[in-house]
Amino acid sequence: MTHNSPDLKFELWLANSGSAVFFSFLVLYLKAVGLTEFQIALLSLSFSVSMICSNAIFGRLTDSIGPRPFLVLGLLLSSITSYVYVFAEGFNAFFIMRMIHGIALGMYPAAITAVASDRKTKLGGLSSFGSLGWATGSITAGFVAQYTGLNNLFILSFGMFFVSFLISFFSKSGSVKITQREPHDKKFAKAVKANWKIYLMASIRHGTANSIWIYWALFLTSNIGLNASQIGWIQLTNTLTQFFVMGKVGDKFDPLFMFIAGNFLSAIAFFSFTIASNFWQMLLTQILLGFSWAFLYVGGLRLVEIRGKEFDGVGTSTGLYNSSFSIAQAIGPILAVIFFQISNGYVLSMKMAALITFVFIALFTVDAIKTHEGQQLHDTPFL
């Protein structure tokens, strides 16, 4: 029987709202306090490396211990580490803060997915509330940054995470019965063997994407001429599109087809950024981006969840899936620095992201068709 899990949806909504505050506007804050593009990329690398380790470690612990401690504690630590940015001064302090923040943010995603999987909650519907969180967080952060100052964003993020923590602590998801599950050393190897192609493709696509996102707000302000509130609307359009697509079709299509389609659409979306020249054109690119991410993320998440159930390793499998995106966030800063040094601008990253994503998803698709997974593609009404 499927469980609607409204508590999980609200927790994910608020947690992603808190994360969205940082996505678009932290780079503007760091630039305002005097950091260079190279230092900003290093900070992103610090954050991403800690997220890689955190997602993988706590995903595995979720399978062996249970989801409760990592869901509740992860949200609490995320709220605290979101706030203490206000005390950071200088590159070294921000470097440490980004690393600690990454550890906190990597603690709870696998736990949420594990609880949802145990309740047979549809992951497309749940993920749609994660995108809704990015939408509300982005637009709220845009207005706060525009009219009250960038420094208030840390308080905003703290509040969103803290409310999510309170819901988790007092609700059903915060009181999921913990059974001491037998640790299984082979779960990690099984998850990698079953899903390594998904993990690799997710890392490649999101790695090139993060070479764009590192300087995304700077691109929108310097190249397109947007202000902070307009950046909020840009992010809102993207994430609201994700919300509706995930909620309406995220659980209806074959997950392999969705994952492949999402990657192809991503390549088109990345290239579209390079030909947009004003606010309204950028809004159109964000609708395409929203479709691409909704298909890609939910398709991949459903695939690894299905395979993880075969060896009682949903937490491990989804934790590694999230780690794939964290690996990508580590790759992104390196590519961003290289592309920025070559072109002294932000557009080259977008063109390269489009090209690399297209080439690798084409190879992935050919391989899928040649294997037994290809039957899933042939069974869809689209191919």
CATH code assigned at 329: 1.20.1250.20
The pLDDT of residue 128 = 79
379-to-266, 299, 337, 366, 382 alpha-carbon distances in Å: 23, 16, 43, 16, 8
Write out the two tokens for 347.
């557009």
Q: Helix %, strand %, coil % for the chain, to 5?
A: 85, 0, 15
CB of 124 closer than 8 Å to CB of 247: yes
pTM: 0.72
Q: Is residue 189 part of a domain?
A: yes
15: nearest Cα among 61, 68, 60, 82: 82
Q: Is residue 362 part of a domain?
A: yes
CB of 104 closer than 8 Å to CB of 214: no
Q: Is residue 118 part of a domain?
A: yes
Q: Per the structure, how many domains does the chain have?
A: 1
Per-residue confidence at 178, pLDDT binned at 50, 70, 90? Answer: very low
Q: Is residue 63 part of a domain?
A: yes
Amino acid occupying residue 32: A
Write out the two tokens for 40.
């900003």
* Domain around 199: 7-173+184-378
Q: Is residue 255 part of a domain?
A: yes
Instruction: Output DSSP code: residue 67.
Output: S
Classified as helix, coil or strand, 258 is helix
Q: Is residue 125 part of a domain?
A: yes
Q: Is residue 115 part of a domain?
A: yes
Q: 130-172: per-residue pLDDT in tens?
A: 778 877 887 788 788 878 888 888 899 999 999 999 988 887 6
Arithmetic mean of pLDDT, 278-305? 91
The pLDDT of residue 124 = 74
131-to-181, 202, 263, 331, 334 alpha-carbon distances in Å: 32, 18, 18, 23, 27
The pLDDT of residue 268 = 95
Q: Is residue 91 part of a domain?
A: yes
